[in-house]
Amino acid sequence: MSLSAIQARLISACKSADRNPADVTLIAVSKVQPLDRVRAVLAEGQKVFGENYVQEAQGKWPDLRAEFGPLDVHMIGPLQSNKAKLAMDLFDAIHTLDRPSLAKKLANLAQQRGQCPKLFIQINTGAEPQKAGVLPDDADAFIATASGLDLPVVGLMCIPPEGEDSTPHFNALATLAARNGLTGLSMGMSSDFEAAIAAGATHIRVGSAIFGARDYS
Ligand SMILES: *Cc1c(COP(=O)(O)O)cnc(C)c1O
């Protein structure tokens, strides 16, 4: 696969769903990818990227921004509170607001700085014990808490359980967002982004299908 192949699939999925491709942001997930692959995708004109690790992003994006101009870099991995300040400096959006203590931390920092990245609240739609995210039953209350802290919450994010049909999880996330007046839906990865678009995704997070497999060795 390649960037252009994924863009073509995005457009075709939007057509099937009777949606405007301009309403779906493709986040190219560049975590762990060699710099030459990231540069190649930048050279093709991609402007929106996703990273999972604050440290890795810090070593990469200040230089790439200086070289390639304004870019949108999104934090899509779990965020430790002690990295919150650094994350706010680095990222244009954070998709993984998942607990009250982090909401308070971000709200304090936002007040000091007078600005805050756009935020998505991660929902653990499968209620998996090992996975981050607010449990579906706690979601309405948590969204209200975050809004009460004046945080710029723009939507919800989920990572469906592996090996399960993603669509029921995407639909559940869309229902939860609509019920709370949120329009952003960060959902869909390499293996299921077309289903996510059909379910209303506004942000899809696609890594390996653009860059190739990640080599963690
Ligand atoms: C790594 C990652 C992705 C991209 O996964 P691919 O299967 O490579 O597309 C998307 N979302 C999150 C939260 C990730 O951690």
Report domain extents, the chain. 3-211
CB burial of 37-56 (b: ≥16 within 10 Å; e: otherwise) equals: ebebbbeeebebbbbbebee
For the Cβ of 187 lying below 6 angstroms from any atom of ligand 1, the answer is: no
User: Which residue owns the Cα nearest ligand 1 atom 13?
Assistant: 76
Tens-place pLDDT, residues 79-135: 999 999 999 999 999 999 999 999 999 999 999 999 999 999 999 999 999 999 999
Which tokens hold the place of 106? Answer: 């971000």
Tens-place pLDDT, residues 42-64: 999 999 999 999 999 999 999 99
The residue ranges of DSSP E strands in the chain, in sequence order, are 25-29, 48-51, 72-75, 93-97, 118-122, 153-157, 184-186, 203-206
Q: Please tell me the CATH code under which domain 3-211 is placed.
A: 3.20.20.10
Backbone angles phi, psi at 54, to 5 degrees: -60, -45
The residue ranges of DSSP E strands in 62-175, in sequence order, are 72-75, 93-97, 118-122, 153-157
Tens-place pLDDT, residues 131-147: 999 999 999 999 999 99
For the Cβ of 78 lying below 6 angstroms from any atom of ligand 1, the answer is: no
User: Which residue owns the Cα nearest ligand 1 atom 12?
Assistant: 76
- The 3-state DSSP class for residue 57 equals helix
Q: What is the pTM of this model?
A: 0.97
Q: Strand 153-157 and strand 48-51: pairing? A: unpaired
Q: Please report the atom of ligand 1 found closest to the CA of residue 214.
A: 8
Longest Cα–Cα distance of the chain, Å, equals: 45
Residues 53 and 60 sit within 8 Å (Cβ to Cβ): no
